Amino acid sequence: MFSQTTEYALRAMSWLALSPTQLVPTNQLAERTKVPPHYLAKVLQQLAAADLIVGRRGVRGGYKLTRPAADISLLTVVRAVATVERITTCPLGLDNHGPNLCPLHRRIDDAAKMLIELYGGVTLQDLVSQSERKPLCDKETTARLTVSAGRR
């Protein structure tokens, strides 16, 4: 469905949402999201450029979210690395189309509308607040996260 980059961006942001208050080391992020480190570095740069994460680049670097997970929708994450916009005028620039899209671009716009509605209403917090199953986590990690959250 999504490009590799989009999938990786969603994975990285989901993992960061599990530890919202601390810098997560980049190597841990790569390991847990199972994203190749060099690819992940590029994705993290894009997420930082979109002001979704802040941190330090490099081998000893790490990142955290710039704002609460409840304030970051999945749509915001996708848009940091891909274009998801409604089509408001003919992409071919045909004069007599203008905002009256042809049947093809109407359908492409339908898909954009659908994704915007679906992902605009779900936040990273929604993903991580389910009690039993955490994104990207095996049983052991989930248990550790639950204990850690309990200690706060």
Q: What is the contact surface with its own copies in residues (CB under 8 A)?
A: 1-3, 7, 10-11, 14, 33-34, 74, 83-85, 91-97, 100, 102-105, 107-108, 110-112, 114-115, 118-119, 122, 126-128, 130, 133-139
Q: How far is the CB of 127 from its own copies (least distance, A)?
A: 4
Q: How far is the CB of 144 from its own copies (least distance, A)?
A: 14
Q: How far is the CB of 134 from its own copies (least distance, A)?
A: 7
- Residue closer to its own copies, measured from CB, 23 or 115: 115
C-alpha distances out from residue 29 to 15, 38, 41, 61, 151, Å: 7, 12, 10, 11, 22
Q: How far is the CB of 58 from its own copies (least distance, A)?
A: 25
- Residue closer to its own copies, measured from CB, 7 or 146: 7
DSSP characters over 30-89: HHHHT--HHHHHHHHHHHHHTTSEEEE-STT-EEEESS-GGG-BHHHHHHHHS------S
